[in-house]
Every structure is written in structure tokens, then in C-alpha cells.
């Protein structure tokens, strides 16, 4: 079955085609980052209007690039939530219209399920069950994943998400939005030992996180140190080390407490090189395997939606759906496919 995937939950318009026998045929993305950068963050109304402009041309582009036509489609998947209501509605309405016009099943996908399953698009793909470290701009969660839709929440952030911590502290350093990639670039030339920043909840004994205190600590630090290039790079490296230390510490603890052998990392922060390097070292030492999505599929994209859609459309339990969006939506509430 050939599934068209549409992602419009935030500031990226993503479209992809996934075939259940041939795999991912193609995906294309338009990022609104430059448009929002001027405002230092995503402006919801501008985001939805831009999705309206970009979405249909991207659908045409991915079809022509993969030499397919609308009549080849067997189903349509779109991000139903969580996300910005107006932005979600753009993808939902295009998916519903295509489904209606072409008489195809349409399924709404949970954005985090898309991220969670995206490592299955890489080779080798992890087998179930696994532990998933889900680190995006809006969420930081550790889940036990037994199968599609069989997710058990083991721990999550009590305040800011890891991506948010990168973005907010990067802003304090005067870096452009989105801060994560910019901060990690600056950190490459910095000394992470120079400033000691808190590792919130690292020793809390559970799998929960808290990153809001880090932002306050960085605010004080930036206030008291100079703003020369060297110092900024050292602050950036110290921030990255603090966030990565906590993520790696909790991931290791989740591997120990579940006794599982596979760790999967998903979401935008999963693109962070320092995080990957540190997890690789821990995995080698502690005999578990770690899996990442292909780097271009870490941040928001249509491929993860097409893939999750293919998994769900392949089972009888998910049929054609109406036209709905869920700006707030718990991942653990999803039905399983087995
Ligand atoms: O998964 P994603 O694209 O969107 C959400 O669903 O939130 O994640 C975006 C987040 C942003 O906070 C961004 O700063 C962060 O991922 N991010 C990074 C890196 N690339 C993206 N954070 C640290 N290092 C990176 N290389
Ligand atoms: Zn995302």
C-alpha cells in the first residue's frame, strides 16, 4: 500500500510517500525557520498561512519526483496532534479532501508516535520491545515500546522539554532560533568543564526530568561572565554538557530498570552529536544497542507520518476517519495495532 504522509504540526511542512513493500520512496520538506527567526520563535498564525501556501506544491513535487500519481495512493496519513491548532488544520483538511476525492482511507497520526517509530526507517531497524528516549522541542519522555501503539510512559519532564532548554538558553546567548543546532555548533569550540551548571534531577532516582532551573542558572551565568567569543563557546559547551549528562543518565537508568537491550532515540534533539557520542559510549560499555533515525528524519518530517500511517492503515482497527485535530493529545492513550 502506498501512503501519502503529511506533517504540518508546527513550523515544517513535510510530505512523503511510504510504500509497505518498497519502503520510503521519497520525502520533501519546507522549513519555515527563516520566517519565524525574525520573531525569535514560531508565530502560529504565520505558520498556518505558510502551510497553506506550501502543502499542495510539496505533494505535487514528491509525486513527480517518485514518478507516482494520486491514483497510485492507497491511503493518506496526516498529523492530527499535538501541535498548533491552525497549522494542524491545514494538513487535516488537505488529507480529508484527498481521501474524499480519491475514496481513500485517511488516518490521523500522533506526532510523537511518528517520532517514536522513525528509527524503524533506518537500517538496521530496531526490533520491539525497546526503550525510547523522545527528545523534541515540546516533549521529553522515556517510553517502553512493545509494539505499534503499545507505549508505557516511564518518565517525562515536569517543566521544559530538552529542546526547549536548548532553545531558551541559546536565546540567552544571543543565538538565533531554533537554538539547539546553533548552540551545539558554538559548543564545538568550547570547554564544557569551564562552568559548572546544575544537572537537574539526575539523582532523583526516577526517570523524570526538569530543565527550567538550568535556564535560570544560565541567566545568572551569562549575567556574570563576559560576552567574548571564547566565553560564549565555553558557556554553550557547558550548557550542552549539562543537558546531555541528564539525558544520558536517565537513558542508562531506563535500560537498567527495564532490562531491555535496545534504546531508540527520537525527536529533534536526537540530532545532537554530543548526545549521540555519549550514548554510543554508554551503549558499548553497558551492552545495549542504540538506534537513531537517519539524521534528516530526527526533526519534523513527512516520512515519519507516512510510515506511522502505513503501520496503522495496515491494521483493521484504524479505518477511514473524519476531519479532526487534537492540539493536546496523550501518546499513552493511543490504541495498539496488535
Ligand atoms: O522534533 P522537533 O523537530 O520538533 C518538535 O516536535 O518539537 O524538535 C525540535 C527541537 C528544537 O528545540 C531544536 O532546537 C532541537 O530540536 N534540535 C537540537 C538539534 N537539532 C534540533 N537540539 C540540540 N542539538 C541539535 N543538533
Ligand atoms: Zn516533532
- Per-residue H/E/C for 26-87: EEEEEECHHHHHCCCCCCHHHHHHHHHHHHHHHHHHHHHHCCCCHHHCCEEEEEEECCCHHH
Residues 6+ apart with CB under 8 A from 104: 73, 74, 75, 76, 98, 320
User: Among positive and negative, which fits the CA dihedral 70, 71, 73, 76?
Assistant: positive
Task: With residue 333 as reference, give the H or E element that holds it.
Answer: none
Q: Percent of the chain beyond pLDDT 90?
A: 89
| Ligand 1 atom closest to the CA of 240, numbered from 1 | 23
Q: pLDDT per residue over 142-151, tens digit each?
A: 999 999 999 9
Over residues 6-31, the mean pLDDT reads: 97
* Residues 52, 191: Cα–Cα separation, whole Å: 44
Spacing, Cα 290 to ligand 1 middle (Å):
19
Instruction: Tell me the CATH number for domain 2-116+297-333.
Output: 3.30.420.40
| Ligand 1 atom closest to the CA of 170, numbered from 1 | 14
Return the residue whose CA atom lies nearest to atom 14 of ligand 1: 180
Q: pLDDT per residue over 93-137, tens digit each?
A: 999 999 999 999 999 999 999 999 999 999 999 999 999 999 999
Domain(s) of CATH 3.30.420.40: residues in the chain: 2-116+297-333, 129-292
Mutate to test the pocket of ligand 1, among 180, 183, 247, 248 (most ligand atoms within 8 A of CB): 180
CATH superfamily assigned to domain 129-292: ATPase, nucleotide binding domain (3.30.420.40)
* Residues 204, 255: Cα–Cα separation, whole Å: 16
pLDDT of residue 294 exceeding 90, the answer is: no
Strands (E) across 124-242 are located at: 130-135, 140-147, 150-156
Spacing, Cα 193 to ligand 2 middle (Å):
31
Return the residue whose CA atom lies nearest to atom 8 of ligand 1: 268
pLDDT score of 322: 63
Spacing, Cα 12 to ligand 2 middle (Å):
9
Q: pLDDT per residue over 206-237, tens digit each?
A: 999 999 999 999 999 999 987 899 999 999 99
| Ligand 1 atom closest to the CA of 299, numbered from 1 | 3
Over residues 17-24, the mean pLDDT reads: 97
| Ligand 1 atom closest to the CA of 161, numbered from 1 | 12
Burial call 38-66: b when 16+ CB within 10 Å, e when fewer: eeeebbbebbbbbbbebbeebbeebbeeb
Q: pLDDT per residue over 237-286, tens digit each?
A: 999 999 999 999 999 999 999 999 999 999 999 999 999 999 999 999 99
The binding-site residues of ligand 1, defined as CB within 6 angstroms of any ligand atom, are 115, 136-138, 163, 166-167, 178-181, 184, 267-269, 271-272, 299-300
pLDDT score of 150: 94
Residue 11 burial (C-beta neighbours within 10 Å; 0-12, 13-18, 19+): buried
Amino acid at each position: 500500500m502506498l501512503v501519502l504522509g503529511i506533517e504540518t504540526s508546527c513550523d515544517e511542512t513535510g510530505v512523503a510517500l511510504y510504500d509497505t513493500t518498497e519502503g520510503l520512496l521519497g520525502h520533501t520538506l519546507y522549513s519555515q525557520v527563516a520566517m519565524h527567526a525574525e520573531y525569535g520563535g514560531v508565530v502560529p498564525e504565520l505558520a498556518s498561512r505558510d502551510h497553506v501556501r506550501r502543502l499542495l506544491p510539496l505533494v505535487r513535487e514528491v509525486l513527480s519526483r517518485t514518478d507516482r500519481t494520486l491514483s497510485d495512493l492507497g491511503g493518506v496519513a496526516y498529523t492530527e496532534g499535538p501541535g498548533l491548532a491552525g497549522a494542524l488544520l491545514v494538513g487535516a483538511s488537505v488529507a480529508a479532501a484527498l481521501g474524499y476525492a480519491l475514496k481513500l482511507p485517511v488516518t490521523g497520526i500522533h506526532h510523537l508516535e511518528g517520532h517514536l517509530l522513525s528509527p524503524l526507517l533506518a537500517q538496521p531497524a530496531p526490533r520491539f520491545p525497546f526503550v525510547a528516549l523522545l527528545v523534541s522541542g515540546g516533549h521529553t519522555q522515556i517510553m517502553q515500546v512493545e509494539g505499534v501503539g503499545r507505549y508505557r510512559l516511564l518518565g517525562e519532564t515536569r517543566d521544559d522539554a530538552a529542546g526547549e532548554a536548548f532553545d531558551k538558553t541559546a536565546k540567552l546567548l544571543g543565538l538565533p532560533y531554533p537554538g539547539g543546532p546553533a548552540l551545539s555548533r558554538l559548543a564545538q569550540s568550547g570547554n564544557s568543564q569551564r562552568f559548572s551548571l546544575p544537572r537537574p534531577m539526575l539523582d532523583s532516582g526516577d526517570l523524570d526530568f526538569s530543565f527550567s532551573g538550568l535556564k535560570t542558572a544560565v541567566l545568572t551565568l551569562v549575567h556574570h561572565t563576559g560576552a567574548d567569543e571564547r566565553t560564549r563557546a565555553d558557556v554553550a559547551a557547558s550548557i550542552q554538557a549539562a543537558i546531555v549528562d541528564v539525558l544520558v543518565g536517565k537513558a542508562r537508568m531506563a535500560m537498567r530498570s527495564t532490562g531491555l537491550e535496545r534504546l531508540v532515540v527520537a525527536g529533534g534533539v536526537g540530532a545532537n552529536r554530543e548526545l549521540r557520542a555519549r550514548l554510543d559510549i554508554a551503549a558499548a560499555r553497558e551492552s545495549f544497542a542504540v538506534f537513531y533515525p537517519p539524521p534528516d528524519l530526527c526533526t519534523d518530517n513527512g516520512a515519519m507520518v507516512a510510515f506511522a500511517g502505513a503501520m496503522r492503515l495496515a491494521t483493521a482497527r484504524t479505518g477511514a476517519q473524519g476531519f479532526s485535530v487534537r492540539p493536546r493529545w496523550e501518546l499513552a492513550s493511543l490504541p495498539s495495532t496488535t
